[in-house]
């Protein structure tokens, strides 16, 4: 039951991150270039996670997942979902960059979450390291 709950939270979180990234314009976290596809993917991920969780077994019984364990699983799932989303989006955009020889347009010197509007998560980290070395 704990593993099932983790998969539910992870799948739902990936869907929420995709919808939020499209809404906020964080191109560095988006799997697709078109916002409509982002929204559809996010909705399908959320609906798929809940459909799988509640459609595969009878969940209407007393289970052994305690409240603190459930909180821990939820927090772990959303944190891992964020990093998985960032990694997958970085790999997708790197592949697009290699195939088309272009990078995501925009300023590369922004800080914080604003960096994700112009570059990927891994691109932001690499840019931060390069800027840190140049200042020394």
Q: How far apart are CA 21 and CA 15, in angstroms?
A: 10
Which pLDDT score is estimated for 104?
47
Task: Please identify which residue in the block is written with the tokens 């209407």.
Answer: 60
- Asked if residue 36 lies in contact with residue 62, where contact means CB atoms within 8 angstroms, the answer is no
Which pLDDT score is estimated for 75?
95
Checking if the pLDDT of 130 tops 90, the result is: no
Region of residue 13 (left: phi > 0; alpha: psi -120 to 50; beta: else): alpha
User: In the predicted model, what is the mean pLDDT of residues 60-74?
Assistant: 79
Buried b / exposed e over 75-101, threshold 16 CB at 10 Å, is eebbeebeeebbeebbeebeeeeeeee
Between 124 and 69, residue with greater pLDDT: 69
Which pLDDT score is estimated for 55?
86
């Amino acid at each position: 039951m704990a593993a099932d709950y983790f998969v539910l939270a992870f799948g739902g979180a990936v869907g929420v991150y995709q919808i939020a990234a499209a809404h906020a314009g964080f191109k560095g976290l988006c799997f697709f270039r078109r916002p409509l596809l982002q929204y559809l993917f996010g909705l399908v991920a959320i609906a798929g996670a809940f459909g799988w969780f509640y459609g595969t077994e009878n969940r209407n019984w007393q289970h052994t997942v305690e409240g603190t364990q459930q909180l821990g699983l939820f927090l772990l799932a959303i944190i891992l979902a964020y990093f998985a989303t960032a990694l997958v989006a970085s790999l997708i955009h790197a592949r697009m960059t290699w195939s088309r020889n272009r990078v995501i347009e925009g300023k590369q010197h922004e800080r914080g979450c604003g960096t994700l509007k112009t570059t990927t998560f891994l691109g932001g980290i690499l840019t931060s390291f390069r800027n840190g070395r140049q200042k020394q």
